[in-house]
Amino acid sequence: MNQLLVCSFLLAIASSYASVVPAPSYVVSVQGDDDGAIICGGVLIDKRFVLTTAQCLAFYNPERLVVSVNDGAQIIKLASYTFASNFDFVTMEDNIGLLRLAEPANANVIEVAEQQPKTGASGVAYSWGANHRLDSVGVKLVSTGDCASGKYGWSEDEIFNTMVCGLVKNNKSCVPRFGNPVVSNNKLVGLTSWGGCGNNGKAAILTDVPSLRSWIDSAIKKLEQ
């Protein structure tokens, strides 16, 4: 878990190497309701639902969280929330959570990819950085099997079926804090999870969102009840 703190620190150092981009409005931030501090990232997959990682809910008090849309143009409270019951605090397996918003977001949504990208596919990791600006970092995606092969700094004992990996294309950049979306071919393929910056040949670990589509569908039905 210390790697998460290291990555957040390195991101602050490397933010000047990330590209400042026009904000895709489906990229949101999850914040504390008292001071507006960004806790983690998130992404709108529906006007009422935000996908994020389980860390955001398991390590913080969800009752004190709000979602910032369009860089604070709309601050929305949570109506309900859930995260995968199989989420493992140690291995970070099944690191996914879902937030139901108290009101619809005035923003675009993104479609979840149907399958995991192949190794070498290009993606973009979005995040809200310093001064609440939206940054983007180009990544090369690495499949579950390839990431577990040892070629990218991880073994088969560390990489599970709900994980995919990413390497930043600029070694001075850093994969952002957990919960931020990774997009490839205009579809959501991952959420930043753990494992460091993803540079110098050692991949960052992402939640493999396509592998968890059935959980997402079930969670939406559960929260709509």
Q: Which tokens in the block code for residue 64?
A: 């004190």
Question: Which pLDDT score is estimated for 37?
Answer: 85
CATH T-level topology, domain 2-21+111-210: Thrombin, subunit H (2.40.10)
Beta bridge partners of 20: 135
- The strand ranges marked E within 58-160 are 65-69, 74-83, 97-101, 122-128, 134-142
Written as tens digits, the pLDDT of the chain (225 aa) is 334 333 332 333 233 334 444 558 999 999 998 888 889 999 999 999 999 999 999 888 899 999 999 888 999 999 999 999 999 989 999 999 999 999 999 999 999 999 999 999 999 999 777 676 788 889 999 999 999 999 999 999 999 999 999 998 877 677 777 999 999 999 999 999 998 888 888 999 999 999 999 999 999 999 998
- Domain 27-109+213-224, CATH: 2.40.10.10
Question: Which pLDDT score is estimated for 174?
Answer: 77
Domain residue ranges of the chain, discontinuous segments joined by +: 2-21+111-210, 27-109+213-224
Q: What value, to the nearest 5°, has the Cα angle with vertex 157 and ends 151 and 160?
A: 90
Cα dist. 158→100, 148, 195 in Å?
A: 31, 7, 10
- Nearest to 65, CA basis, from 39, 96, 41: 39
Cα dist. 69→116, 156, 175 in Å?
A: 27, 38, 21
Note the pTM of the prediction, 2 decimals. Answer: 0.88
27-109+213-224 shares the fold of 2-21+111-210: yes
Cα dist. 60→1, 31, 53, 64, 195 in Å?
A: 14, 10, 12, 8, 20
